[in-house]
Structure 1
Amino acid sequence: MAAGVVVLIDQATKAAALSGLSPDERVPLLGDLLGLRLAFNPGAILSLGSGFTGLLTLLGVGAVILLIVVAARARTGWGAVGIGLILGGAVGNLIDRLFSPPGFGVGHVTDFLAYGTLFIGNLADVALGAGVIVLGLNLWIRHRRARAGTTNDGMTGGAAPAAGSAASGS
């Protein structure tokens, strides 16, 4: 569910950016810290690998397939949310790579969130980062619970006794 919401919001905001923003003009939102400016990225984060757009598309397809498998095996609700955010961000940017100019599989990702003079990103990128944070926090909390001897159901000291065992009074 999280992945679908991310893809819908990402694609809607990219469409709005394409119709209302310019690559030549920055619209300030929070002064110089955050603004809106249209950009097209043939590469990955910070335009790395811009000469390998086709390869990045293939890696994106592989990542999406892997994320779908991992999402189906998520053990916690927060783990599923984190994976869903990452999956949604990956699909949002993959749609651009597949269907945006200059051509199928080598399209440039539409970016519009200008972070000062550092870089320009989009909401798919925000979802990717948020998903990594959610997964990291989820793993950290699970690790702390495991070290404290607390299971996900709040029980301590390991597994509950099996039905019909001496502990159940049968």
Structure 2
Amino acid sequence: MTEAEQATGMPEGADGAGEATAGENSAAKGKRRIGVLVSVAAFAYLLDLLSKLLVVAKLEHHDPIQVFGTWLQFNVIRNRGAAFGIGEAMTIVFTVIATAVIVVIARLARKLYSLPWAIALGLLLGGAFGNLTDRLFRSPGGFEGGVVDFIAPAHFAVFNLADSAIVCGGFLIVILSFRGLDPDGTVHTDD
């Protein structure tokens, strides 16, 4: 059952329209979802990129800025590892993983008819591109650059907006999977 069928309660094409109309609707619906994926990815990427450019220019090599007392600060660090600074010697591996995520999303996009999946995958794609850009172009460069992290909640890891997009996209994918919604817009139930 597609999202359209869920919304209307009728199977596609049951309104008396021929098969050509249903096929045309599927093609148009698919293009629109890819557009949503690309738009969300571009927005997440640009927001991450602009925030990093700003904090590097204004905050790096300065004392942390307290946003909400000691609960939330902006403190610029260069993270060559994964979350919590784990795996700093494995920067190239994280670059390969980010590249693989981008390739998988590009392959999934061909069959993407679900708006929630388009948003989730767009968040993942934008976040992956944001951190990959740092790994490629920030010092020392060549797949080993340090990711700029600056959001520092008390008693938690320092992260950036790309990390937030990745986590939100991943969380949304988990919810969609539990609800049985597939990227192609069909709904499956585990009976």
What is the match of residue 130 of structure 1? 168
What is the match of residue 100 of structure 1? 138
What is the match of residue 64 of structure 2? 26
What is the match of residue 112 of structure 2? 74
Q: What one-letter code is carried by the residue in structure 1 that aligns with 2:98?
A: G
Q: What one-letter code is carried by the residue in structure 2 that aligns with 1:135?
A: I
CA-to-partner distance for each residue in 1:37-92, whole Å, 9 max, x for gaps?
A: 00000011111111111222122212211122123323410011001101110110
Q: 1:3 aligns with which of 3, 23, 41?
A: 41
Q: State the SS of the aligned residue for 1:52.
A: helix
Aligned-partner Cα distance in 2 for 1:33–1:92: 26
What is the match of residue 52 of structure 1? 90
CA-to-partner distance for each residue in 1:15-47, whole Å, 9 max, x for gaps?
A: 001011135522111222211000000011111
Aligned-partner Cα distance in 2 for 1:83–1:147: 22
Equivalent pairs counted in the alignment come to 148
Aligned-partner Cα distance in 2 for 1:119–1:23: 19
Aligned-partner Cα distance in 1 for 2:94–2:70: 31
Change (3 A) 1:60 1:147: closer
Report the aligned-residue RMSD.
2.0
Q: Gaps spanning 5+ residues in structure 2: where?
A: 1-38, 182-186
Aligned-partner Cα distance in 2 for 1:147–1:71: 23
User: CA contact under 8 A between 1:35 and 1:113: conserved in structure 2?
Assistant: yes
Between structure 1 and structure 2, the one with the greater Rg is: 1
Aligned-partner Cα distance in 2 for 1:10–1:72: 26
What is the match of residue 152 of structure 2? 114
Higher relative contact order, chain-length normalized (CA < 8 Å, sep 6+)? 2
Aligned-partner Cα distance in 2 for 1:74–1:94: 24
CA-to-partner distance for each residue in 1:79-137, whole Å, 9 max, x for gaps?
A: 11001101110110000000100122110000110021321100000001111122222
Q: Gaps spanning 5+ residues in structure 1: where?
A: 150-170
Identity of aligned residues (%): 28
The farther-off stretch of 132-141 and 40-49 is 132-141
CA-to-partner distance for each residue in 1:127-165, whole Å, 9 max, x for gaps?
A: 01111122222223336x75599xxxxxxxxxxxxxxxx
Structure 1 runs (4+) deviating above 3 angstroms are 145-149
